[in-house]
Amino acid sequence: VSTDASNDSDKTLIDSNTSERTLPDRVDSVDSTDDYSWNRQNSLAATMKEWDIPYEDLNVGDAIGKGRIGTVYRGQWHGDVAIKLLDTGNSTDNEAQLAAFKLEIAILRKTRHENLVLFMGACMKPPRLAIVTSFCKGQTLYTMIHLNKNTFKINKAIIIASQIAQGMSYLHARAIIHKDLRTKNIFMDSGKVVITDFGLFHMTKLCRGTKSQCVSNEKDNWLSVPKGWLCYLAPEIIRSLQAMQQSDLPFTKMSDLYAFGTVWYELLCNEWPFRSQPCETVIWQVGKGIKQSLSTVSAPREVKEILMSCWSFRSNDRPDFAQIAKALDRIPRTRLIRSPSHPCQLSRS
Ligand code: ADP
Ligand code: MG
């Protein structure tokens, strides 16, 4: 493992001489592992039509930022929207990859929950592949916690965590694994949690080039790990990190739970776990089942228990999101704000 200083200081690179350097020929759908069949693609194409937004219909405004799979623009389409324009390079001529994009869209259109970003449609005509969602006017938890250094009172943290758990519980009930749950993908919009980017992790495959590119380019022997990504990865994911396989990592509902644990830690402590430790150390510790210590965290026992259960080394020992929501609800709020010097605060609550 080494750090790529020449290219992008935000990236850590993991050498994997022994890893297979091929990408699978088949792209799995999220709710099924069936092979592509001609019929399936055809019926999908028909359903997809109603979600197709011609790119020309969008009024694309300023770029807001660039993420792993493309650039997000603010735009207008019957009101404010966010347009995620995929960075597909020259790989969109590959029909299987376009079909993979449509499968991801098929996932997004199934989602309706107040704590999930509203999917509005997609531009599905190569080379312009884009996802159109409602525009979140608030800030991400990442901005609030790590940039603006906001701190949350414990009761507020519980409300936020509870809304995240509800949105995630809904996703899991619909057989959707988020795969990229982190504070950068959670907005606070008018006091309400809005989770974004669920299920899109598969698209790294779409945006990372073809098999031949992987083999020919020496850089592709390395897996680049975006800054701040590692601490959301469950031990079973960490242990399977290999070059060129980011999009084939073994994400499960349980790995989403682990990522939630990290978000919960950030809400409580205003920092990432394993802060300022080198990536190699984090990989070694998490892979061995060593957790960030909570000894200096001043929070009620129940709060720490939830966190530790999400970070369980064995994925089956982690609770599900419905259990998390219940556990959060059970934390006695009055006790949390009780202060001997302000007895009246307790009665008002
Ligand atoms: P990342 O998640 O790593 O920040 P993204 O590509 O998802 O990368 O997002 C790029 C930028 O666009 C970020 O600043 C993000 O907050 C912003 N963004 C993404 N989706 C929306 C949205 N629906 N509404 C407003 N801003 C968004
Ligand atoms: Mg994002």
For 35-70, letters b (16+ CB in 10 Å) and e give ebeeeeeeebeeebeebbbebeebeeeeeeeebbbb
For ligand 1, is residue 135 a contact (CB within 6 Å)? yes
Q: What is the number of the ligand 1 atom nearest to the C-alpha of 187?
A: 16
At residue 25, does pLDDT exceed 60?
A: no
Check if the beta carbon of residue 267 is closer than 8 Å to that of residue 159. Answer: no
Cα 270 to ligand 2 centre (Å): 20
Residue with the bigger pLDDT between 97 and 232: it is: 232
Which ligand is nearest to the Cα of residue 117, counting in written order? 1
Residue with the bigger pLDDT between 228 and 342: it is: 228
Q: If you take atom 9 of ligand 1, which residue's CA is the nearest one? A: 67
- Please name the amino acid found at residue 290: I
Can you give the pTM of this predicted structure? 0.82
The tens digit of pLDDT for each residue in 276-302 reads: 888 889 999 999 999 999 988 888 899
Q: What backbone torsions phi and psi does residue 253 show, to the nearest 5 degrees? A: -60, -35
Cα 82 to ligand 2 centre (Å): 11
C-alpha distance across the termini of the chain, in Å: 51
Percentage above 70 pLDDT, the chain = 73
Q: What is the dihedral of CA 225, 282, 319, 250, to 10 degrees?
A: 40
For ligand 1, is residue 183 a contact (CB within 6 Å)? no
Query: What is the C-alpha to C-alpha distance for residues 51 and 43, in angstroms, rounded to an integer?
Result: 14
Beta bridge partners of 121: 132
Establish whether 93 is a catalytic residue: no
Q: What is the number of the ligand 1 atom nearest to the C-alpha of 69?
A: 6
Confidence of residue 18 (pLDDT cuts 50, 70, 90): very low
- The structure tokens listed for 238 are 């960490």
Q: If you take atom 3 of ligand 1, which residue's CA is the nearest one? A: 67
Q: If you take atom 19 of ligand 1, which residue's CA is the nearest one? A: 72
- pLDDT on residue 99: 80
Cα 349 to ligand 1 centre (Å): 36
Query: What is the C-alpha to C-alpha distance for residues 26 and 255, in angstroms, rounded to an integer?
Result: 23
Cis peptide before 127 (omega within 30 of 0): yes
Check if the beta carbon of residue 54 is closer than 8 Å to that of residue 191. Answer: no
Which ligand is nearest to the Cα of residue 130, counting in written order? 1
For ligand 1, is residue 198 a contact (CB within 6 Å)? no
At residue 11, does pLDDT exceed 90?
A: no
Lowest mean pLDDT among 15-19, 118-122, 247-251, 328-332: 15-19
Most informative mutation of 83, 188, 196, 200 for ligand 1 (most atoms within 8 A of CB)? 196
Cα 226 to ligand 1 centre (Å): 15
The tens digit of pLDDT for each residue in 263-279 reads: 999 999 999 999 888 88
- pLDDT on residue 299: 86
Using the structure block, give the residue that is written with the tokens 């469950």. 234
For ligand 1, is residue 64 a contact (CB within 6 Å)? yes
Cα 245 to ligand 2 centre (Å): 20
At residue 335, does pLDDT exceed 60?
A: no
For ligand 1, is residue 85 a contact (CB within 6 Å)? no
Q: What is the DSSP string of 207-261?
A: HS--HHHHHH-GGGGEEEEETT-GGGS-HHHHTT--TT-GGGS---HHHHHHHHH
Selecting among 180, 189, 197, 256, the annotated active-site residue is 180
At residue 56, does pLDDT exceed 60?
A: yes
Most informative mutation of 72, 131, 136, 230 for ligand 1 (most atoms within 8 A of CB)? 72
Please give the sequence-ordered ranges of beta strands (E in DSSP) within the chain, or none if there are none.
2-3, 11-15, 59-66, 70-76, 80-86, 119-125, 128-134, 139-140, 186-189, 192-195, 222-226
Q: What is the mean pLDDT of residues 76-85?
A: 97
- pLDDT on residue 107: 82
CA 105, distance to chain mean position in Å, is: 16
* Rg of the Cα atoms in the chain: 21
- pLDDT on residue 114: 97
